[in-house]
């Protein structure tokens, strides 16, 4: 974890906030901060791509696009779209991928911190929703 202190916290003795990994006598789990750090770590060494993100309130949302190689999936190359929704309401997005050609668009996924699911109706033009106060990642196989 990149500069994250303290990293661990006992669930029964929380003196510091935020912490990344919580433990007690029964379980260990990552906080949302931990999972965001993990998503960024996975795409270390990626190439940032030119993109446009248009919103009515740029203080409540931001996005970036990268091309990255997934070492856990036979080094397949993905287009990764990261979206941070800082608002109290869901964010409806229209994603348009000009010039993007996928080898298997059906394997695309959507990750809302700690929950990965298949991306519904993936393609070069998509309408997607991100929950309030969330960090969402869209992985599209190149």
For position 26, what pLDDT does the model report?
A: 92
Q: Which helix (H) or strand (E) holds 137?
A: strand 134-141
For position 6, what pLDDT does the model report?
A: 67
**What is the residue whose two structure tokens read 């929703």?**
129
Q: Enter the pTM of the model.
A: 0.76
Phi–psi pair at 124, nearest 5 degrees: -75, -15
Q: Return mean pLDDT, the chain.
A: 83
Give CA–CA dist 62/71, Å, rounded.
26
For position 88, what pLDDT does the model report?
A: 92
For position 5, what pLDDT does the model report?
A: 60
Residue ranges, the chain, pLDDT below 50: none
Give CA–CA dist 85/43, Å, rounded.
20
């Amino acid at each position: 974890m990149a500069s994250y202190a303290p990293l661990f916290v006992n669930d029964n003795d929380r003196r510091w906030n935020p912490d990344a990994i919580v433990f007690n006598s029964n379980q260990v789990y990552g906080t949302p901060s931990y999972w965001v750090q993990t998503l960024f770590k996975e795409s270390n060494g990626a190439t940032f791509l030119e993109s446009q993100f248009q919103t009515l309130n740029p203080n409540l949302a931001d996005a970036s696009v990268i091309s990255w190689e997934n070492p856990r999936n036979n080094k397949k190359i993905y287009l990764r779209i990261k979206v941070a929704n800082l608002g109290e309401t869901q964010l409806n997005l229209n994603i348009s991928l000009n010039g993007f050609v996928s080898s298997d668009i059906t394997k695309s996924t959507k990750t809302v911190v700690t929950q990965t699911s298949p991306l519904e109706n993936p393609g070069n033009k998509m309408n997607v929703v991100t929950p309030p106060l969330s960090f969402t990642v869209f992985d599209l196989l190149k």
